[in-house]
Amino acid sequence: MEEARVSLDLTHVIYDASSHTSLALALLTLSPILIMPAYGVLAVQTRELTIINMWAGQLVSEGLNLVLKRIFKEERPAEGQLHLNGYGFPSSHSQYMGYFGAFLVCHMYLRHRFASTGYPLADQAFRFFVYLTITTWVVLVAYSRLNLLYHTPHQVLWGLGIGASIGVVHYIFTEHLPHRWPLSTFGRIRTAVLTNPVVQWMQIRDGWAVWADGGREGEWQRWKIKYNEHQASFHQKRVD
């Protein structure tokens, strides 16, 4: 029996070879793929519940996208039929980035506090720059799906809208409400997760429940103290 072979489109992108913009967008459209291993690395390295929770929501959003595509079965743009597989509604890349951007901006705005420079205007400018960078990334990835003829405008817009909605709702109910009202149902669920013996054995923590920056500055200060002690010891040995 002859084997049936198909193309794995995960990293297979068709673009206009005569356009540098098309090449840049083709590279940019692959960026969501890089976020998944980043989730894994951060989850293992930091053991932060918020990062693990964000990752879990991202997977739920991806699962919903597959379900929606099989429900609506909407074709991709006619221009792309020669090289595209699967259905086009809603755009999975747009939904992916919509969720990612919405959850991250919600967290940055509602929970995370950046280290202060001592100048309020500079602090606000930096926060605005972070929000703008995230939003620009999301929009450019969504636009790349249009430019590369992988989706129609309404497939991209619906993808962004669905992803952003999931991101906001997921963040509100699993992060914001438990933090604001620890004794609420959502707060008790989060406490139960953190006090679970398996979770404690894995040393998973909720840094933002204790520190406004998730503990980043404190960790850096502890490292700086140990580093200075190490340097002082090294120089003392050279003198001796």
The domain locations on the chain are 5-209
What confidence tens digit (pLDDT) does each residue in 186-221 have? 999 999 999 999 999 999 999 999 998 898 888 889
| pTM (2 d.p.) | 0.90
CA-wise closest residue to 90 among 165, 8, 169, 28: 165
**pLDDT band at 239; cut points 50, 70, 90:** low
Q: Strand, helix or coil at 117?
A: coil
Is a pLDDT exceeding 60 seen at residue 34? yes
Contact 86, 155 (CB under 8 A): no
Q: Which of 12-16, 87-91, 176-180, 230-234 has the lowest mean pLDDT?
A: 12-16
Rounded CA-CA distance 159/222 in Å is: 43
Q: Which of 2-11, 51-60, 163-172, 207-216 has the lowest mean pLDDT?
A: 2-11
Angle between helices 120-147 and 92-110 (to 10 degrees): 170
**pLDDT band at 233; cut points 50, 70, 90:** confident
**pLDDT for res 86:** 80
Is a pLDDT exceeding 80 seen at residue 49? yes
Report the pLDDT averaged over residues 36-47. 94
**pLDDT for res 234:** 77
**pLDDT for res 3:** 65
